[in-house]
Amino acid sequence: MYVAREELERALRNGLNSQQHLLIHGDSGTGKSWLYKKVLSDLDVHFEVANLANASRLGSITNELANLVSRHEIAEKTGYSESKSAELNTIVAKGRLDHTGQYELGQKEPFESCLAAIRQRAGSRSGILVLDNLEAAFTDQFLKELADLLILCDDERYAYYDVKLLIVGVPSGVREYYYKTPHHATVANRLRELPEVSRLSLTQCRSLVEKGFEKRLRYTVEDPSSVYKHVAWVTDRIPQMIHEYCLEVANLIHHSGCTVDSDTLERADELWLSQSMYHGYAVVEQHMNERDTKAGRRNQTLFALGCTENEHVKASDVEELIRREFPNSTSGTTLNVTQILAQLGKGDQPVLKRTPKGDAYAFADPRYRMALRAMMMKTADERVEKVPLTNK
C-alpha cells in the first residue's frame, strides 16, 4: 500500500522537469523505490531499473547495463554471409552466389545500447534509467564510472536519446564526493539531490495503518489512538517496518476475531523481535550491562537512546532523557554519559557511530532504535530489563 508523501512527490516531479540528473537518498526501508515508482507511473514515464548490487557482482556498471539490455532484447543479427559461384547450363550461363564473406554489423557500447532501448520502448514519452541500490557500489571505482556516465549524457551521441538518470540509494554524500574530486567537480553540477526520504509523519503513519487494518482488512481496532501511536513508536515510522509489524498483527488475529487491542500488540512485539528484529536484538543484548549493577547505567542509557527522535543525538540530549526517565536513581549523581556513548560506538557490532563532525552520534543501523523500543522495559524501581525472545 502507498501513502501520499506530497512534499517528496512534488520535489521529484520538479526534478524531472529540470535539466539535471536526479539523486534520491534515504535509509533502507524508508520507501525510496515506493516513491519513484508511484510518481513515474502517475506521470506515465517509461523507466527501467539497473541494480547496482548486480553491478558490484558483475564488476562494473557497464556490465549491469549490458545485462539489462540483454534481458529485454531478442538476439540481434550481428553479421551475414554472402556466397558467389558460377553455374553453367547447356543452354544459358547463369550466376549464383556461393562465395562466403562475413560482414560484421556496427554495435553500440552497452550504455548507449541501454539508452537507445529505453528510448525505443518509451516512444514519445519521457524515459528514465534508474540506477538503484547505490550503496552497493559506493566505492571510488564505481563512483568514477558513474561520473563518466553522467558526463557522457551531455555528449550529442548519448543526449540524442533524451534519457535522464535517476540514482537511488542510502548514501547522501555523492555530490560532496564529486565536489572534493577535482577532475570530477563538474559532475556535481549535473546532479540534483532531492530531499532525504525519511520516516513518515505521525499522520502518514496513522493513515497507512488505518488503511490496512480498517479499510482493507475490515478489522476492529480498539482504542485506535493508542494502537496507532504504538505502531508508530515501535516501527519508528519506517514504511517497510510498518508493513512488517502490521503483518505480524494480522497473522495473529486474522482467524480469531479480527480485533486489534493491547494484548495483540504485546504478542506482536514479541514475535517481531524474534523474527524481523532478531539481529538488532542480538546486537543490543551484547552491549547491555554484563552484570547486575545497582543502577544499570548502561541499560538506562540504551533505554534513553530508544526514546530519542532525532537522527543525531548528543550526550547532553541523552543525559536529559536519562534524568527524566529515571529521576530517583540519577538524582545528585554524575552520569558520565559521554563515556558510555563512546563504549556503545565500539566493537565489531556497535550500536552507535559518530557523525562526520564528531560532536554527536547516530545509530549504526536504524533498526537498532526499533529493537530498543520493543525490547527494553522499565521497571517500577527504575531498572531496565529486556523482553525475552519468544519461540512461538
Q: What is the pLDDT of residue 302?
A: 97
**Tens of pLDDT, residues 240-277:** 999 999 999 999 998 888 999 999 999 999 999 998 89
- Contact (CB, 8 A) for 47 and 130: yes
* Mean pLDDT for the stretch of residues 127-146: 93
Domain membership of residue 102 (yes or no) is no
- Contact (CB, 8 A) for 137 and 123: no
Domain membership of residue 91 (yes or no) is no
Looking at the fold, whether 230 and 307 belong to one and the same domain comes out as no
Instruction: Return the beta strands (E) in the chain as ranges.
Output: 21-25, 46-51, 79-81, 85-88, 93-96, 102-104, 127-132, 163-169, 191-193, 220-221, 259-260, 352-354, 361-363, 376-378, 384-386
- The closest of 235, 309, 285 to 265, measured between CA atoms, is 235
Domain membership of residue 96 (yes or no) is no
Q: What is the pLDDT of residue 255?
A: 82
Q: Using CA atoms, how far apart are residues 343 and 356, in angstroms rounded to an integer?
A: 18
Q: Give the model's confidence band at 391: pLDDT under 50 very low, under 70 low, under 90 confident, else very high.
A: low
Q: Using CA atoms, how far apart are residues 124 and 72, in angstroms rounded to an integer?
A: 19
Looking at the fold, whether 154 and 180 belong to one and the same domain comes out as yes
**Tens of pLDDT, residues 201-242:** 999 999 999 999 999 999 999 999 999 999 999 999 999 999
The single-letter code of the amino acid at 3 is: V
The β-bridge partners of 363 are 352
Q: What is the pTM of this model?
A: 0.83
All three cell numbers of 228, joined, read 496507532
Domain membership of residue 81 (yes or no) is no
Looking at the fold, whether 134 and 283 belong to one and the same domain comes out as no
Q: Using CA atoms, how far apart are residues 51 and 73, in angstroms rounded to an integer?
A: 18
Q: Using CA atoms, how far apart are residues 371 and 269, in angstroms rounded to an integer?
A: 10
Helix (H) or strand (E) holding 215: none
- Find the domain containing 141 and state its range: 6-70+108-193
State the angle between helix axes of 367-375 and 297-307 in degrees (0 to 180), rounded to the nearest 10.
120
Which of 250, 274, 298 is at the close of a domain?
274
Q: What is the pLDDT of residue 106?
A: 55
Domain membership of residue 49 (yes or no) is yes
- Contact (CB, 8 A) for 216 and 242: no
Looking at the fold, whether 116 and 254 belong to one and the same domain comes out as no
Which of 219, 248, 274 is at the close of a domain?
274
Looking at the fold, whether 270 and 282 belong to one and the same domain comes out as no
To 5 degrees, how large is the angle CA 205–CA 209–CA 214? 145
* Residues in the chain, overall count: 392
**Tens of pLDDT, residues 273-312:** 998 899 999 999 999 987 666 568 999 999 999 999 998 9
The contacts of residue 73 (CB under 8 Å, 6+ apart) are 117
Which of 158, 193, 228 is at the close of a domain?
193
**Tens of pLDDT, residues 185-194:** 788 889 999 9
Looking at the fold, whether 163 and 238 belong to one and the same domain comes out as no
CATH code of the domain in which 374 resides: 1.10.10
Q: In angstroms, how far is the first alpha carbon of the chain from the final one?
A: 28
Looking at the fold, whether 129 and 33 belong to one and the same domain comes out as yes
Say whether pLDDT at 95 is over 60: no
Looking at the fold, whether 223 and 301 belong to one and the same domain comes out as no
CATH code of the domain in which 123 resides: 3.40.50.300
Q: What is the pLDDT of residue 168?
A: 96
The single-letter code of the amino acid at 145 is: E
The β-bridge partners of 191 are 21
- Coil, strand or helix at 288: coil
Say whether pLDDT at 74 is over 60: no
Domain membership of residue 97 (yes or no) is no
Neighbour count for residue 294 (Cβ, 10 Å): 7
Domain membership of residue 263 (yes or no) is yes
- Contact (CB, 8 A) for 146 and 105: no
Task: State the total domains in the chain.
Answer: 3
Looking at the fold, whether 116 and 167 belong to one and the same domain comes out as yes
Looking at the fold, whether 37 and 128 belong to one and the same domain comes out as yes
SS (H, E, C) 12-35: HHHHHCCCCEEEEECCCCCCHHHH
- The closest of 264, 329, 270 to 303, measured between CA atoms, is 329
Looking at the fold, whether 221 and 257 belong to one and the same domain comes out as yes
Q: What is the pLDDT of residue 388?
A: 87
Q: Give the model's confidence band at 104: pLDDT under 50 very low, under 70 low, under 90 confident, else very high.
A: very low
Q: Using CA atoms, how far apart are residues 327 and 324, in angstroms rounded to an integer?
A: 6
- Contact (CB, 8 A) for 252 and 269: no
Looking at the fold, whether 210 and 183 belong to one and the same domain comes out as no
